[in-house]
Each structure stands twice: as C-alpha cells, then as structure tokens.
Amino acid sequence: MGQATDTVERTEIGHDEFDPIGTLALIMVYFAILVALWLFMYFVEFLGNDPTVTGAVVPVVGLI
C-alpha cells in the first residue's frame, strides 16, 4: 500500500554506503532517558517510601 501510492524520489543506498548514524543518535537519546529515569527511580523508591528489602548484596541474594 505504501508502495503503490508512494511518489517520493528514491536513491538506492547499498550495504556499504549506509551508515546508520541516525539510529545511533536515537539510541543514545533513549539511553539518556533510561538513565535519567533510573536515577529518578531512586527518589521514588527510596526517598518516597519507607524502606523495603534493602541492604548489601549478600543478605538480599544469599540467605534463603
């Protein structure tokens, strides 16, 4: 459908000429958002509530 009604000019770009720099840019933005949210989570989880199950790695994982 897209194809049939498309009138945009096409330039053929092959495997070697294609450098997905825009993809890299978008993914960097996404990671930046993820990191920011992750930091924000600290305030919601640890400062906004009473402590839940926290502590050093060992007690959380090990004591069964």
Q: Is 47 in the site for other proteins (CB under 8 A)?
A: no
Q: Is 7 in the site for other proteins (CB under 8 A)?
A: no
Shortest distance in whole angstroms from residue 3 CB to other proteins: 5
How many residues at the interface with other proteins, by CB under 8 A?
43
What is the Cα–Cα distance from 13 to 42, expressed in whole angstroms? Answer: 45
Rg of the Cα atoms in the chain: 23
Residues that bind other proteins (CB under 8 A): 1-6, 8-15, 18, 20-23, 25-27, 30, 33-34, 37-38, 41, 44-45, 48-49, 52-54, 56-58, 60-64
